[in-house]
Amino acid sequence: MTRHTTPPGPPGAAHEAGDRGLRVVVTGATGNIGTGLLGLLREDDRVGSVLAIARRPPGTPPERAGDGDGPAGATARDDKVTWLRADVCQADLVHHFEGADAVVHLAWLFHPSHRPSVTWRTNVLGSTRVFHAAAAAGVAALVHASSVAAYSPGPKEHGVDESWPTHGWPASAYCREKAYVERVLDTFAQDHPAMRVVRLRPGIVFRRESAAQQRRIFAGPLLSRRMVRPSRYPAMPDVPGLRFQTLHTDDTADAFRRAVLTPVRGPFNLAADPPVDAKMLARVFGTRTLRVPARPVLAAVAAAWRLHLVPTPDGLLEAVLRMPLMDTTRARTELGWQPRHSAEETVEEFAAGLRGGAGGPTPALADRLPGGGRARELATGVGERT
């Protein structure tokens, strides 16, 4: 990997931190985007040190890998990254943020989807704690991981820019939480004009190593590797509105790195071309398309979710059918960001990861849960784990 010696963007864009290099804090560092970002920060000469915060850092004992409780503290360290086991809802974040040049906030819960009060606590109240702790610690830059899911319903024929309303889709807890945090940041940025506040709004982020985690989050234990092999499906459902954007984890991580190092503010859309639709999915999975109405598909997902057969409620699928396509001009011009992977390449890589049961190096990305894999997923409640 190339080591960077000048900032991406205007000369002198990076915050001057002396010989020590920038000190960056990353919350939610064990997830899909977090692990990709840590790799880039490790290789960047302008970054001197990284504090990686997670509820389950690498090396967490298996008996603790399913929870975020217990004593917090540094658990591992390499030449640039120090790991801290901590929950953003409980930890003394001001203490951990002191001396940092930038905080990148990635920590987010998808589950338990049947208990939205739990996800709200981490995603909204935890995020608010992160923002205010960064201000109290005197951090110069805050980079927050928002999402296309924060956007209100919009067009599928062309992209919208960052001024599109961010009220989410009310039937989805995930969208409501992403939209609410956008409102929190509106007020926060006004109250802290000296802090550089950046919001990145990526499409759906995939890579091979995220396959096992995202299968657990979105599809559950009943989706087998055999089911995603080419030609296993008689047809790919072509539901009205099924047109969305995706991008590779490496490209997403690069945008976050640039947001840390470039003197930009405000929101940025992130996506790769072309948009994903039923025809592309049919090519990837070696089948044909079949046009079906949305209502029975949503009803089937809703029934499966209520029966704890799938972890994702129908509201999130409905949001995908309604969310707009995004225009990424601002990220390309102001961040100097350009995705290296096309959307179809990304989907093909992710599909290969599903077929192979691929996972990553952290507890969050592991190819199977400790103590039983898919059987443990069923035993602990589909859509109930945190």
Asked if residue 271 is part of any domain, the answer here is: yes
* Phi-psi domain of 56 (left: phi exceeds 0; alpha: psi -120 through 50; beta: other): beta
Tell me, what's the pLDDT at 376? 75
Domain that holds residue 147: 21-379
Specify the CATH number for the domain of residue 237: 3.40.50.720
Tell me, what's the pLDDT at 80? 93
Task: Report residue 73 CA to chain centroid gap.
Answer: 24
d(CA 324, CA 88): 31
Identify which of 253, 238, 282, 24 has the alpha carbon closest to the alpha carbon of residue 141. 24
pLDDT (tens, 9 = 90+) of the chain, 386 residues, equals 333 333 343 333 334 444 579 999 999 999 999 999 999 999 999 999 999 999 999 987 644 444 444 445 655 566 799 999 999 999 999 999 999 999 999 999 999 999 999 999 999 999 999 999 999 999 999 999 999 999 999 999 999 999 999 999 999 999 999 999 999 999 999 999 999 999 999 999 999 999 999 999 999 988 888 888 877 778 899 999 999 999 999 999 999 999 999 999 999 999 999 999 999 999 999 999 999 999 999 999 999 999 999 999 999 999 999 999 999 999 999 999 999 999 999 999 999 999 999 999 999 999 987 777 777 777 777 877 76
Asked if residue 4 is part of any domain, the answer here is: no
Tell me, what's the pLDDT at 369? 79
Kindly give, in sequence order, each residue whose CB lies less than 8 Å from that of residue 142, ignoring residues fewer than 6 positions away. Answer: 102, 103, 105, 131, 134, 195, 196, 197, 198
Asked if residue 2 is part of any domain, the answer here is: no
Asked if residue 315 is part of any domain, the answer here is: yes
- Domain count for the chain, please give it: 1
Asked if residue 318 is part of any domain, the answer here is: yes
Tell me, what's the pLDDT at 237? 93
Asked if residue 384 is part of any domain, the answer here is: no
Asked if residue 11 is part of any domain, the answer here is: no
Task: Count CB-CB contacts under 10 A for residue 350.
Answer: 26
Look up the pTM and report it: 0.91
Whether 58 and 135 have beta carbons less than 8 Å apart is answered as no
Asked if residue 12 is part of any domain, the answer here is: no
